[in-house]
């Protein structure tokens, strides 16, 4: 039996069953609301445990009822949750307390939130017609890290570059096939 330790995210997924996709600003009645444990890291840990691995998880949940539910779900799977921190208050504050100076949180079609010891803000996403969001976050991180200066002097510009890369990626199918090359980003009129 293999031993697996997963470091990653734990989320509470919420699924709404509707008769049609709502239009912007439209209010609709949901026929069903379904909550389930999720997050890439938690999903990987559950898959490893269910396949017979001794599994531990390192991550963080809030101190709210959803955080407790997520811990309970992993515990019921017999996953070692001793590495999961229960974080009270804003995650960015906790990260700063741990010595992490800059926090970036992707917000999907909204863009990316950043928080440093000096400032915080949101760099908006580019509005596109997304057809496959599979590699959006991975593309964002890869593109951002390829251009971010060591002193973080170009943080907002690097986030903008990551947003641009992911906005291009979501317009094509497939994870790696959709990740754009730097030339495609440089040719975009949006950042020139």
pLDDT tens-digit profile of 67-111?
899 999 999 999 999 999 887 766 677 777 778 889 888 888 888
> What is the layout of strands, in order, in the sheet containing 111-115?
103-106, 111-115, 120-124
pLDDT per residue over 39-61, tens digit each? 888 999 999 999 989 999 998 88
Percent of the chain's residues with pLDDT above 70: 96
4 strand-pairing partners: 55
Query: Mean pLDDT across the stretch 157-175?
Result: 92
pLDDT at 192 over 60: no
Count the Cβ atoms, other than its own, within 10 Å of residue 72: 12
Integer-rounded Cα radius of gyration of the chain:
19
Q: Is 109 helix (H, G, I), strand (E, B) or coil?
A: helix
Q: Is 12 helix (H, G, I), strand (E, B) or coil?
A: strand
CA distance 27 to 29: 7
Could you tell me which residue, 95 or 183, shows the higher pLDDT?
183
Query: Mean pLDDT across the stretch 131-144?
Result: 89
CA distance 21 to 56: 38
Active site residues: 138
């Amino acid at each position: 039996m293999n031993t697996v330790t997963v470091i990653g995210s734990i989320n509470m997924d919420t699924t709404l069953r509707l008769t049609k996709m709502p239009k912007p600003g439209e209010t609709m009645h949901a026929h069903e609301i379904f909550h389930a444990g999720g997050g890439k890291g938690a999903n990987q840990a559950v898959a490893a445990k269910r396949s017979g691995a001794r599994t531990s998880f390192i991550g963080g949940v809030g101190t709210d009822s959803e955080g407790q539910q997520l811990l309970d779900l992993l515990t019921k799977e017999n996953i070692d949750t001793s590495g999961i921190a229960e974080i009270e208050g804003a995650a960015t504050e906790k990260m700063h307390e741990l010595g992490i100076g800059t926090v970036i949180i992707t917000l999907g079609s909204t863009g990316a939130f950043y928080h440093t010891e000096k400032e915080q803000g949101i760099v908006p996403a580019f509005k596109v017609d997304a057809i496959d969001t599979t590699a959006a976050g991975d593309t964002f991180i890869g593109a951002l890290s390829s251009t971010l200066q060591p002193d973080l002097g170009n943080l907002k510009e690097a986030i903008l570059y990551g947003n641009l890369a992911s906005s291009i990626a979501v317009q094509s199918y497939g994870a790696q096939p959709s990740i754009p090359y730097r030339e495609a980003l440089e040719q975009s009129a949006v950042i020139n």
